[in-house]
Amino acid sequence: MKRLIVIIMATTLSTTLSAQQLSAEESDPKTTKYMQGYPPPADKRINARDGSFFEFPALRYSVCHMREFMPTVGVERLNRTPTHCFEYCLDPNIDNLTFTPTGTTDTLTFAESLPLNYTDGILILHRGKIIYERYFGELTSERVHAVMSVTKSLTGTLASVLAVEGVIDTAQTVAYYIPELAESGFGDATVRQVMDMTTAIKYSEDYTDPEAEVWKFSAAGNAMIEHPEGTPQGYYDYLPQIVKDGEHGNVFGYRTVNSDVLGWIIARASGKTVAELMQEVFWGQMGMELDGYYQVDALGIPFAGGGFNAGLRDLARFGEMIRLGGTWRGVQIIPEEAVKDITEGGSAEPFARSTYAKGLPGWSYRDMWWKSNNKDGAFMARGVHGQAIYIDPAAEMVLIRLASSDKASNTLLDPMSLPAYQAVADYLKGKREI
């Protein structure tokens, strides 16, 4: 198995497995013991102020404890509907399904792949029933996990709903909704261009470049950092500084700031933050099991680009509702057109022109969802370090993966995850109904 990883890393992922690389077991919080003890010893203390809580392997602990490191706002399940109970129809064949990681000729089983990509939780629904559910590392069925950029797809879904309801006009400019952004690079972009991330702005999200704008944005939104007078106190203080770079609408450019501009538009147009809407529309009326929450900045603004945390099963409920065109337990939770815009709307051209086309050929991006445009019509929400809501309509499958991989970029994680998801989908498509 180790040989295989080395091959994948060395040939496909252009990196090597160093001797220091910790396995899933070695990096398990039960082993590393970050933040354990009363108080934790000095070498086991991590925090959000200096970013140490987000470094692997500390990250494997933090993903289930984000609220303990920063201010948050609840997305509560309330008690307005009874807790929904899933039907279980566990399928013992899933573990043994095999697949070939992209760029290799080797074979992995589904079960073997889970520790290799530091899976914390994975749940597969087939026709709404749980056929597979596993918890590793710090995650349990009674804990939430950071979903990172999966949050963007939730923001995009809310925007799609508000667009269908006429609360947001996607043809309007950003400046129309947010006058503070009129002079910024976003000012003359349409809401639609923001939703599909085709805005042309000078903004690098290259985490390896210390001068990249993403660091300034992250710092502005980090409530744990003291912001001197005259510097941005939160996300919305920083966004107006972003300048234009080219023409909007032509090329897909994956930049988190689009999601926060969209979150801002949602708040101004609806009078509610994404956190309030997530509670009102989904968590408060779907019989969720655990309260979710959003990381907030120093101004109390939820991080629409990456700050949501939720339980594995609740994310499955959300995904299944999307698969069913916005219905849940026979009730239309959101308009079907809002989901259709995600699955059928948009164009693949801006994506094809982007740097992402190489790793994800044929894919496109709509309403902050990633669309494979494959034969199954699969589409997904994706977050760094391996978070995914993967919906395969042809296989009637919803797969949720929560993880704390040593690698952030999904480009590095896709070779082992996408073929695995497809293997399960292909198996389910051939599964005989009993």
Give the tokens for residue 275. 């956190």
Nearer to a second copy, 87 or 142 (CB): 142
Separation between Cα atoms, residue 3 and residue 9, nearest integer Å: 10
Q: Rule CB under 8 A: say whether 299 interacts with a second copy.
A: yes
Q: Dihedral of CA 393/396/397/398: which sign?
A: positive
Which range of residues in 1-9, 43-51, 96-104, 372-380 is near a second copy by CB under 8 A? 43-51
- Residue 263 CB, nearest distance to a second copy (Å)? 9
- Residue 68 CB, nearest distance to a second copy (Å)? 5
Nearer to a second copy, 39 or 430 (CB): 39
Which range of residues in 16-24, 289-297, 319-327, 384-392 is near a second copy by CB under 8 A? 289-297
Q: Rule CB under 8 A: say whether 55 interacts with a second copy.
A: no
Give the tokens for residue 20. 């220091």
- Residue 408 CB, nearest distance to a second copy (Å)? 23
Q: Coil, helix or strand for 425?
A: helix
Does residue 101 have a cis bond before it (omega within 30 degrees)?
Answer: no
How far is C-alpha 394 from the chain's CA centre? 22
Separation between Cα atoms, residue 319 and residue 275, nearest integer Å: 18
- Residue 229 CB, nearest distance to a second copy (Å)? 10
By CB under 8 A, how many residues form the interface with a second copy?
Answer: 41
Nearer to a second copy, 211 or 226 (CB): 226
- Residue 307 CB, nearest distance to a second copy (Å)? 12
Separation between Cα atoms, residue 326 and residue 432, nearest integer Å: 27
Separation between Cα atoms, residue 147 and residue 142, nearest integer Å: 16
Q: Rule CB under 8 A: say whether 291 interacts with a second copy.
A: yes
Q: Rule CB under 8 A: say whether 47 interacts with a second copy.
A: yes
Contacts of 366 (CB under 8 A, 6+ apart): 156, 195, 196, 341, 342, 345, 346
Q: Rule CB under 8 A: say whether 67 interacts with a second copy.
A: yes
Q: Which of these, 96, 119, 113, 95, lies nearest to 8 by C-alpha position?
A: 113
Give bridge partners of residue 349 from the DSSP assignment. Answer: none
Distances from the Cα of 159 to the Cαs of 93, 137, 269, in angstroms?
A: 39, 34, 10
Separation between Cα atoms, residue 385 and residue 412, nearest integer Å: 9
Among 25, 40, 231, 331, binds a second copy (CB under 8 A): 40
| Residues of span 17-36 touching a second copy by CB under 8 A | 35
Among 114, 116, 251, 290, binds a second copy (CB under 8 A): 290
Q: Rule CB under 8 A: say whether 304 interacts with a second copy.
A: no
Q: Coil, helix or strand for 57?
A: coil
Q: Which of these, 260, 275, 311, lies nearest to 63 by C-alpha position?
A: 311
Which range of residues in 66-74, 183-191, 344-352, 400-408 is near a second copy by CB under 8 A? 66-74
Q: Rule CB under 8 A: say whether 167 interacts with a second copy.
A: no
Among 108, 286, 298, 388, binds a second copy (CB under 8 A): 298
Q: Rule CB under 8 A: say whether 296 interacts with a second copy.
A: yes
Distances from the Cα of 253 to the Cαs of 95, 225, 260, 300, 363, in angstroms?
A: 36, 28, 15, 27, 13
Separation between Cα atoms, residue 64 and residue 136, nearest integer Å: 11
Q: Tell me which long-range contacts 44-49 makes (C-beta under 8 A, separation of at least 24).
A: 47/224, 48/222, 48/224, 49/222, 49/224, 49/225
| Residues of span 263-282 touching a second copy by CB under 8 A | 264, 267-268, 273
Q: Which of these, 95, 99, 88, lies nearest to 129 by C-alpha position?
A: 88
Nearer to a second copy, 39 or 210 (CB): 39
- Residue 154 CB, nearest distance to a second copy (Å)? 17
- Residue 82 CB, nearest distance to a second copy (Å)? 9
| Residues of span 205-264 touching a second copy by CB under 8 A | 223-224, 226, 233-234, 236-237, 264
Among 2, 30, 49, 375, binds a second copy (CB under 8 A): 49
Q: Rule CB under 8 A: say whether 166 interacts with a second copy.
A: no
Which range of residues in 37-45, 186-194, 335-343, 349-357 is near a second copy by CB under 8 A? 37-45
By CB under 8 A, name the binding residues for a second copy.
35, 38-40, 45, 47, 49, 65, 67-74, 76, 78-79, 83, 142, 223-224, 226, 233-234, 236-237, 264, 267-268, 273, 289-291, 293, 296, 298-301
